[in-house]
Amino acid sequence: MELRDLKAFVTLGEVLHFGQAAVRQHVTQSALSKQIRRLEEEFGGELFERNASSTRLTVLGRALYEDACALVAQSEQLGRTARDALAGNSGTLRVGFGVATKILVPAAIARFRAERPQVTIELNDLSTHHQLLALSEGRLDLGFCRLPAPKGWHCLPVVQAHFVAVLPASYREVHELADLVDKPLAILRRDKAPSFYDNLMHYLAQSGVRFRDIHYVNDFAAGVATAAADIAWTLVPSSTTIEHPDVLTLPLREAEASWTIGLIRPPHGKGPLIDAFWQIIATMTAPAVEPD
């Protein structure tokens, strides 16, 4: 059974006039009659009763008409869905992000949804390590990750970040990392954010300062609380919210203490939704051009 024949049946069943139905279907009356005959041969009975003055659905025609209408409507919806998907106006976009982009990502999502309100956005708060796994396995479409991206992947630098030392309020005499060598240090467990942990360990090794009394915490908020309680100082990314009256902060801005967060996607990551979101981020993070 051909879909165009079903459409002919539905149209003729609606107007009950061969001439009008043929015009609607953009075919001749002869072609329309052949379409109806093909269906009648397939269904094993006549679908219409026709005489000089009228055309009516037969018992078989009435029995099949509602189902035929539903099938035609579904086929038309499939076409609309396909067009919307190809145009990037529907579907689902899965985005990974971390604390460094907690301001940028919501703003970008709001702009994206204003342009494409029918698109579903799935946001996943994940470390760089877990985003890379999800991207490579096809569980994410885009991710905001610490650069560099894996070889061959597409990337767009978006945010600069650096380490911040969060100190108990009693550490007022501390002015540099070397002043903390004998102080207990609280750091995030590696399994919570492997990329951050490895970068932190590399930075501490490069600093030449050795810290002996190290405690481990489950998140950055716990590290800040540990500093506020005068138990240990901690190191967090600059994007961490630090609002506590009992801590001091010491930003660390040397090259080894800084890194770049970028929007990345694997080589196979293509599609209108991905391209549209990528363009929004590129626009939002482009450097402003100074007037002449």
Max mean pLDDT among 74-78, 95-99, 126-130, 151-155 falls in: 151-155
268 occurs within a structural domain = yes
C-beta of residue 215 within 8 angstroms of C-beta of residue 226: yes
C-beta of residue 203 within 8 angstroms of C-beta of residue 161: no
pLDDT band at 87 (very low <50, low <70, confident <90, very high): low
* Half-sphere exposure in the Cβ direction for 247 (13 Å, CA): 26
Q: What is the pLDDT of residues 40-79, one digit of tens each?
A: 999 999 999 988 888 999 999 999 999 999 998 888 878 7
Question: Helices (DSSP H) in the chain: which residue ranges?
Answer: 3-15, 18-25, 29-43, 59-87, 104-115, 128-136, 194-207, 220-228, 272-285
240 occurs within a structural domain = yes
121 and 110 within one domain: yes
211 occurs within a structural domain = yes
229 and 243 within one domain: yes
82 and 53 within one domain: yes
Residue owning tokens 């703003």: 107
266 and 141 within one domain: yes
Least confident of 75-79, 198-202, 238-242, 270-274: 75-79
Who has greater pLDDT, 155 or 209?
Answer: 155
- Among 87, 102, 135, residue at a domain's last position: 87
249 and 208 within one domain: yes
SS3 at position 13: helix
208 occurs within a structural domain = yes
pLDDT band at 166 (very low <50, low <70, confident <90, very high): very high
pLDDT band at 86 (very low <50, low <70, confident <90, very high): low
Write the DSSP symbol of residue 100: G
Who has greater pLDDT, 91 or 80?
Answer: 91
65 and 49 within one domain: yes
251 and 169 within one domain: yes
pLDDT band at 291 (very low <50, low <70, confident <90, very high): very low
- In this structure, the number of other CB atoms found within 10 A of the CB of residue 197 comes to 18
The backbone region for 272, taken as left when phi is positive above 0, alpha when psi lies in -120 to 50, beta otherwise, is: alpha
Say yes or no to pLDDT of 171 above 80. yes
pLDDT band at 88 (very low <50, low <70, confident <90, very high): low
249 and 136 within one domain: no
Residue owning tokens 């490579």: 136
The CATH number given to whatever domain includes residue 195 is 3.40.190.10
pLDDT band at 84 (very low <50, low <70, confident <90, very high): low
| Per-residue pLDDT, 53 | 83
142 and 196 within one domain: no
pLDDT band at 30 (very low <50, low <70, confident <90, very high): very high
290 occurs within a structural domain = no
| Per-residue pLDDT, 252 | 92
The CATH number given to whatever domain includes residue 73 is 1.10.10.10
61 and 16 within one domain: yes
SS3 at position 187: strand
Q: What is the pLDDT of residues 192-230, one digit of tens each?
A: 888 889 989 999 998 888 888 999 999 999 999 999 999
C-alpha to C-alpha distance for 115 and 86, rounded to whole angstroms: 15
- Among 87, 105, 121, residue at a domain's last position: 87
Who has greater pLDDT, 269 or 252?
Answer: 252
Integer distance in angstroms from the first to the last C-alpha of the chain?
68
Structural domains of the chain, count = 3
140 occurs within a structural domain = yes
Print the domain residue range for 279: 92-157+261-285
| Per-residue pLDDT, 289 | 39
70 occurs within a structural domain = yes
CA dihedral 175, 177, 181, 187 (to 10 degrees): 120
Count how many residues are written for the chain: 292
Say yes or no to pLDDT of 112 above 70. yes
Largest CA distance in the chain: 106
C-beta of residue 159 within 8 angstroms of C-beta of residue 259: no
292 occurs within a structural domain = no
127 and 81 within one domain: no
279 and 153 within one domain: yes
Cα separation values, 15 from 34, 128, 238, Å: 18, 61, 69
Find, among 260, 269, 211, the residue nearest to 237 by Cα: 260
